[in-house]
Structure 1
Amino acid sequence: MFDCFSKLFRHPCNRLYSSSRFLTCVLTALIFLSVSFADQGLGHTKSTAKIPKKQWAYSNMLALRYNPLGLQNELFMGYKQKLYNKPESNLLFGKSYWWTGLIARASPQFAMAGLFFKTSPIAVLELQGAFSRVQSLTTAADLPEYFTDGTQAAVNSTVNNRADAGHIITKGWQSSLQARLQAKVGSIAIRTTNLFRYFDLEGDEGALQSDLFYDQTLDLVTPLQGMVYQNDTDLLYTKSSQSWVFGGRYT
């Protein structure tokens, strides 16, 4: 999900990341609509229906985001299966699963498509990995319109004058590993997510190792090859009978 309060930590071995400590406490606001579906033949799974042991499933989310500015749609689609032969009433293992398939994100700024694997071996833990291709849909000159002040400062602080001229890499590959701890009591949920994302990006002719790529989801600029670590803690209000989820995030 895309949520509210943000602060970024960069990989310490990278000069750009270590120079971006000004982002240690960035507050953002976000209200989002999260709509999930599970496809089962001719119908869709309802929240009150029994979870099938095996199914083809998809989840779609549309999010309007401020700071950084952006509209994003995220789609997961693939094969999903329960991990254990436990009743759903089992608090820790009743809804455990593994799920693999295609992932896609799209916005006016970029498009991304790839493969994912997700599993929840126990109710309080969710693990996810993904490998994808990303492509910018806007020009480098237009990108600063979407930056937060902290990201713009990161661009301005780089020794690469080409970045000041708008020379920002716009395509490449990325992979990620994510671990999430979560708990829910009534309508209140809390979760903490640790994300590692590695970028392997392509430059145009004459590109330099210090050229930059802007990731709108994380709101950061990164060199052609580099790793980013981010930790998010979310406090959410949600009801299973409604599609709206409201929450705050500290990163």
Structure 2
Amino acid sequence: MTKLSVNINKIATIRNSRGGNTPDVLKAAIDVQEFGAHGVTVHPRPDERHIKYKDVYEIRRIIKTEFNIEGYPSPKFMELVKSVRPHQVTLVPDPPEAITSSSGWDTINNLSFLQDIIGELKEYGIRTSIFIDTNPDFIVNAAKTNTDRVELYTEPYASGFEKDPEKAIAPFVEAANIANKSGVSINAGHDLNLQNLKFFNEKIPFLKEVSIGHALISDALYLGLERTISMYKELLVKNK
């Protein structure tokens, strides 16, 4: 099946809104693991408005499942991931003030920069993924960075899904085929939810992993975290 990594940023956002330690982000990370998710994702931003840098160190010590850290490769971020050594680092092109990731890398103009960053991460034995749009040229150039994976930015799919699923998925199928032929594995994330995930997973046969936070944590408010994770996993089973 396609692996599910749960982004727990939103849990940290709620905690930070009141101070203190409620809800407990570390317990959430453990629960995500115990409830069957294949991984935990965090995205520490420079202002630490949700996941704090100290959270990253603490989570790394307590979980056994895959740990994925997203972020812009600033010197501070690179120092963090080299110290923590997560299983995967997902590079995003977000400026510091970004509320959420809203576009992928231009792998043409940033080719040399990404090659250098990925080279550093590989020296530490960290699997790399590049957050990217479906532009075929960007996908082709992503392979030139020596990244292990690309993470397809799925907001355009999610926003078009209800009106025309086949039209919405078409660019992602093309991008996935290009990446697969280039020897690059495929992740996906952003606005995937209980309504659109199954269709996406069925149409992208090479899909390795999805990272889902906002929708999953929102669903968990009504359904409970354990049940919600189970429901998302059911949608990720590959048809035989």
Q: TM-score, normalised by structure 2?
A: 0.29
Q: Which structure has the larger Rg?
A: 1
Q: TM-score, normalised by structure 1?
A: 0.28
Question: Which structure has more helix as a fraction of its residues?
Answer: 2
